[in-house]
Structure 1
Amino acid sequence: MRRSTIRLITVLATAGVSAGLLAGCSSKNQVPSIGYAVDAVVASYNGGSTLGASSGSAAVFGRVLTGFFYTGPDGQQVADTDVGTAKEVPGETQTVQYRLNPDGVYSDGVQTSCDDLVLAWSARSGKFTRPGEGGPVPLFDAASTEGYADIERVECQPGSKDATVVFRPGTHYLPWRTLFTAAELMPAHVVAQAVGVPEVVSALQSGDQAVVQRIADFWNSGWTMAPGELDLTAFPSSGPYRIESFDAEDGLVLVANEKWWGSPPQTSRIVVWPKGSDFAAKAKDNALGVVDLGAGSVPELSLEGFDERTVPSRSAEQLVLATGGVFAPVEVRRAFAQCVPRQALFDTLGSAGEPPQHGLGAGPLNSRVVQQDSLYYPAVAGTADRYRGTDIPAATATLASVGADQPTVRIGYRAPDARRAQTVAMIAESCRGAGITVVDAGTPDFTPAQLTQGAVDAALGGTAAVPGPAGSATGVPAFAALRAGNGLDAGGFGNGRYDAITDQLAGETDSTATLNLLTEAENLLWAQVPSIPLFATPRVIAFGNGMQNGIAGPTQAGTGWNMDRWVLQR
């Protein structure tokens, strides 16, 4: 399926970045190892956790941990039939039948099973909680509960290849293909072994709070990754690649998974160089074959010998604002939006070449939840017009209305990043006129959690504050990042009406009703200002000369979405 998808995209995708095909050139030899530079952060193997999703696990582990669907290069969900099949069953209640490939096996020899689906649903359903001072606290630190919270039960005989997912009566989750996907379907047998239970299905169904807590603790932190500190027995692969090693000097080394049952990867070794690597030095040393980085983030990067292009991505470059501290009064958030030079930021930093008249990258991004190439975007985007440029007198007056005298705003982001540093500098220069002091709080260890903790007042990043590849055509992460209680809601925004709109949109099939709901959502968000969208994040995507099957993926899956098909000849 993936190979046929690649062939189709190679023929049809006019916006894709494709390396020159050099097959059959007898004077060249295939390179046995390809270096992949991508500004995701390798922090967690678990893409469904808050840490994994907010660091960009999907851009690194999509061909290591497979799922029933993966994000294709245009941001669409594509079925991965090597993993198994998923189909809706006709009936009054939404039901999806999942069947794992009978040959599916992890790299440690354990069969894939429906236990993995039960674990994913349990972790992300929001149903397991403990008492807290402000009310129930989730046991699992899930990035979001979108879709999973609508599931009533997962029917699974432990160890079986079949699962039936039954949604709650009266609900219909349209983007169900975003569930149980690549980089998010985790090995349940590893959890069972770690917490000392025969299998997780019965343990989760038992209602034993202590056992469930141990499962949640491992799911939350058992797959955390730091260079040089991996017990690889906890990191088995269900894809064409498996982890061989991870350290600061040699990068994240992925090698062919001998137990993979599908077509073997065409290059046996991929070295992932994540955020924090010296990308310029790696390029100079000829250690890279594929590059996928934020445009302008590495100013000294020289890509001679590459087919290079800058493209707008499906990630929304944005400021995510805290809803406490200096930004607790909504008026201060509005004043800040009035002094942020959104048009100038786009003109200087956000344009991927000559902007198109319409679609991705056509101008400043005026919506948080609707893509610029959506048919709904023109009708929804008008709400942002009053924040298109800057209005310093209005910002000054807005601050004065609540007695906010000379506020200071600390903007955090994952450093080093030259473009984001310049973004902060331009905002600081503009907002100084309104009496707002902007501090560059970018650090090499920044995470969106620092916004939750009050260490910064705003986070600068892509969709859901992710530092590297982000965004999808479905927009599920964008909606989730503003929903109360989700791990991706780093700013702590909570609005009951917005949550209700999100729920309704998930099952709405009428286009007029959808437009009305999207318009109401964007009106509400511009009134409350939990974030400030800037532009579709431009990305530099480059393939070394001699690369075959390289196709840009300016989405949450990154350009490594099909790394198992890469061939580099030199």
Structure 2
Amino acid sequence: MRTRTIRLVTVLATAATAAGFVVGCSTTNAVPSIGYAVDAKIASYNGGSTVGAASGATAVFGRVLTGFFYTGPDGQPVADTDAGTAKEVPGETQTVQYRLNADGVYSDGVKTSCDDLYLTWAARSGRFTRPGERTGFFDAASTAGYADIERIDCQPGSKDATVVFRPGRRYLPWRTLFSAAELMPAHVVAKAAGVADVVTALQSGDGAVLGRIADFWNGGWALAPGALDLTKFPSSGPYRIESFSARDGLVLVANEKWWGAPPKTSRIVVWERGTDYAAKAKDNALGVVDLGAGSVANLKLDGFDQHTVASRGVEQLVLATGGVFASVDVRRAFAQCVPRQALFDTLGKAGQVPPNGLGAGPLNAHVVQQDSLYYGPASRAGEKYLGADVGAATATLASAGARQPTIRIGYQGPDARRAQTVAMIAESCRGAGFGVVDAGAPDFTPSRLAEGAVDVVLAGQGSMPGPAGSATNTTAFSALRAGSGLDFGGFTNTRYDAITDQLAGEANSTATLNLLTEAENLLWAQLPSIPLFATPRLIAFGNGMRNGIPGPTQAGTGWNMDRWVLQR
């Protein structure tokens, strides 16, 4: 594993070896380039933006843009001391001291600095709003944790930053802040905005300057196959972007300015969603595969060690709260006819079903994971929606006064499993009076839900099409919070927002259980989304792969790609 996390991962690797997950080989010829198939749709370098988060930037750029923490294979935040150190300071007011690695430098030669932290906080705090409006300058995926920060003490260009939280507020999952693929290069933004440094510029409060900074943060790091201005995409990790094209994929190469242990393989080619994975496998162009199980029809992976695992991601239906679903009764009728048990039995199993924990059955909670100690009590409200109760759905729909509503379910395709999911829902809900339309498309984005072009998004947490989920479940909580960039359905509930605020700082287990149970009861009553099951992931390593450990989380299996070695 990475040089400074090898001891932490040893236990995971030992357990994984027993399950046949870690792949080793004694042959001698290591290939110079490894193909990595992942069903994220690469759209932005900026994992903290709405577009970046929803398109899976953390699964692609975790070893290109480093942070103080990254999501490990078990879903927990793990410290990355190559990037720097973070230490919580005892005291009445929560304070965290950050120190960037003294040797840290971007691939363009500019040193990492506390400016990067200040920019990330400014963009994600929700504090910077347009004059006379409540609309923020920045299109952040969420403000979780960052909104609780009162200030950051940062001398522009310094390696040190002191983060001070609001008086009376504690944010327990503070290790999820300033993390991999979300800590962006502030000097690039400063150049684009025409300012000396972003810290001074942001502190000035000049609306025009703030607008230029935000415009670049929101869209300046957009990615699509084609020619790239690589000066906008410097790396702070062991890999940097070399090129991106439909024919050759996203090519990552060793970053010559990286100060840590050099990557074991000098070139990784990322193949995004929409790639003909079967053809790439046949051409021997893949070494690692991390896809939704059953999402690619007729995929044959000869010469691979394959495993289907239950992930931290949640397969779910994210519902609009306007249009055809403006009435909660219509949402309830739809939930009553969705065949959740049958969907799990047919599409949701990841190998042998365990008696409890991840993948043990249909998921009966929106924000509480199946392996949580709180899951049993908190998930009871969802048990009444296990099967397709067409009679109840028919009666509920009639009482709502809705006549044969048409429901358009969108997802990013092609995806054979999700197409079958829509087909099963259509068949079940037809008897209750719903018409269900498959609105999956290769160019689908979850923003179509907010635009009214579809009524439902079929995806993971935060409407992510590919790898998703973490042990902290921060994305799941924030995606249902009013005003969050990931709240594509437009759900608004002040009590839910208050619960999430309290949970973020609650250390008492009894109080936590009560709050989570209240949250789940509220969400099952309001139905902004319908959880289905822990998304099964197909993770495969080519024969001869060393140091391959599945990452069924938002960081994907590429979480340690700099340690991969493929020997043939």
Q: Tell me which interval the TM-score lies in, with the shorter structure as reference length.
A: over 0.9
Q: Judging changes above 3 Å, is the alpha-carbon distance between structure 1 residues 305 and 72 closer, same or farther for their aligned structure 2 residues?
A: same
Partner of residue 300, structure 1:
298
Judge conservation of contact 1:17–1:552 (CA < 8 Å) in 2: no
Counterparts of 1:413 and 1:243, CA distance in 2: 28
The residue number in structure 2 matching 1:79 is 79
Q: What whole-Å deviation, never above 9, does each CA across 1:469-523 have from its counterpart, x for those lacking one?
A: 0000001000000000000001000100000000000000000000000000000
Q: Does 1:4 align with 2:7?
A: yes
Name the amino acid aligned to 1:526: W
SS in 2 for 1:138: coil
2:387 equivalent in structure 1: 389
Counterpart of 2:90 in structure 1 is 90
Tell me the residue number matched to 1:117: 117
Alpha-carbon deviations, 1:425-465, whole Å to 9, x = none? 00000000001000000000111111011110000001111
The SS at the match of 1:149 is: helix
CA distance in structure 1 between the partners assigned to 2:67 and 2:191 by the alignment: 22
Does the 8 Å CA contact 2:193/2:213 hold for their aligned counterparts?
Answer: yes
State the distance in 1 between where 2:19 and 2:563 align. Answer: 16
Q: Give 1:9 deviation, angstroms.
A: 2.1
Question: Which of 445, 467, 484 is equivalent to 1:469?
Answer: 467
Give the equivalent residue in structure 1 for 2:534.
Answer: 536
Which SS does the other structure have where 1:288 is aligned?
coil
C-alpha deviation, 1:87, in angstroms = 0.5
Q: 1:291 aligns with which of 289, 297, 300?
A: 289
SS in 2 for 1:543: strand
TM-fit CA distance, 1:168: 0.1
After TM superposition, give the deviation of residue 300 of structure 1 in Å.
1.3
Report deviation, 1:138.
1.1
| Structure 2 equivalent of residue 402 of structure 1 | 400
The 5 A counterparts of 1:59-74 are 59-74=59-74
Q: Aligned equivalents of 1:272 and 1:402: distance in 2?
A: 48
Q: CA deviation at 1:6?
A: 3.7
Q: CA deviation at 1:8?
A: 3.6
Once residues 192 and 338 of structure 1 are traced to their aligned partners in structure 2, the CA distance between those partners, rounded to angstroms, is 52
1:215 — aligned with what?
213
The answer for the alignment partner of 1:270 in structure 2 is 268
Paired letter, 1:466: M
Alpha-carbon distance between aligned partners in 2 of 1:8 and 1:517, rounded to the nearest angstrom: 33
Question: Which residues of structure 2 form unaligned runs of 5+?
Answer: none
Cα 1:124–1:409 change in 2 (3 A) is: same
User: 2:225 aligned with 1:227, yes or no?
Assistant: yes
Asked if 1:512 corresponds to 2:510, the answer is yes
Q: For the Cα contact (< 8 Å) 1:18–1:549, is it kept in 2?
A: no
Partner of 2:33: 33
Partner of 2:56: 56
Residue identity in the other structure for 1:230: L
Cα offsets for 1:31-74 (capped at 9, x unmatched): 00000000011100000000000010000000000000000001
Question: Counterparts in 2 of 1:153-552, with a 5 A limit?
Answer: 153-552=151-550
Deviations 1:125-182 (A, max 9, x none): 00111257xx511110000000000000000000000000000000000000000000
* Other structure's SS at 1:521 match: helix
Does structure 2 conserve the Cα–Cα contact (< 8 Å) formed by 1:95 and 1:166? Answer: yes
**How many Å separate the matches in 2 of 1:547 and 1:6?**
17
Give the superposition deviation at 1:2: 2.9
- In the TM superposition, residue 16 of structure 1 has moved relative to its aligned partner by 6.5
Matched positions, count: 565
- Give the secondary-structure state (helix, strand or coil) at the position aligned to 2:262: coil
1:148 and 1:85 map into 2 onto residues whose CA distance is 18
**Partners of 2:479 and 2:179 in 1: CA distance:** 18
Q: Give the Cα separation in 2 of the matches to 1:385 and 1:47.
A: 35
Q: Are residues 1:568 and 2:566 paired?
A: yes
Contact in 2 for aligned 1:19/1:545 (Cα 8 Å): no
| CA–CA separation in structure 2 for the residues paired with 1:485 and 1:17 | 43
**Residues of 2 paired with 1:527 and 1:306: CA distance?**
45
SS of the residue aligned with 1:166? strand
What is the CA–CA distance in structure 2 between the aligned matches of 1:140 and 1:326, rounded to whole Å?
30
Q: Distance in 2 between matches of 1:285 and 1:551?
A: 24
- Structure 1 segments of 4 or more deviating over 4 A? 13-17
**Mapped contact 1:461–1:467 kept (Cα < 8 A):** yes
SS at match of 1:271: strand
One-letter amino acid of the structure 1 residue matched with residue 108 of structure 2:
D
Query: Aligned letter for 1:183?
Result: A
Deviation at 1:394, TM superposition (A): 1.0
Equivalent residue in structure 2 for 1:21, among 24, 42, 45: 24
Cα deviation digits, residues 252-296 of structure 1 (max 9, x gap) = 000000000000000000000010111010001110000000000
- Aligned to 2:301, what secondary structure does the other structure show? coil
Instruction: Check 1:371–1:219 CA distance in 2 against 1; reply closer, same or farther (3 A cut).
Output: same
* Contact 1:19-1:546 within 8 A present in 2 as well: no
Matches of 2:261 and 2:206 in 1, distance apart? Answer: 42
State the distance in 1 between where 2:326 and 2:96 align: 42
What amino acid is aligned across from residue 174 of structure 1 in structure 2? L
- Sequence identity, in percent? 76
For the residues of structure 1 that align with 2:404 and 2:227, how far apart are their CA atoms? Answer: 45
Q: Secondary structure at the match of 1:395?
A: helix
Partner Cα separation in structure 1 for residue 536 and residue 407 of structure 2: 25
Q: Which amino acid aligns with 1:219?
A: W
Asked if 2 retains the 8 angstrom alpha-carbon contact of 1:6 and 1:549, the reply is no
Amino acid at match of 1:103: D
- Work out the CA distance in 2 between the residues paired with 1:300 and 1:351: 18
Classify 1:148/1:546 alpha carbon distance in 2 versus 1 (closer, same or farther; 3 Å).
same
Structure 1 Cα separation of the partners of residues 496 and 324 of structure 2: 23
After TM superposition, give the deviation of residue 17 of structure 1 in Å. 5.7
Amino acid at match of 1:184: E
8 A Cα contact 1:3 1:565, kept in partner: no
Bigger shift: residues 390-399 or 79-88: 390-399
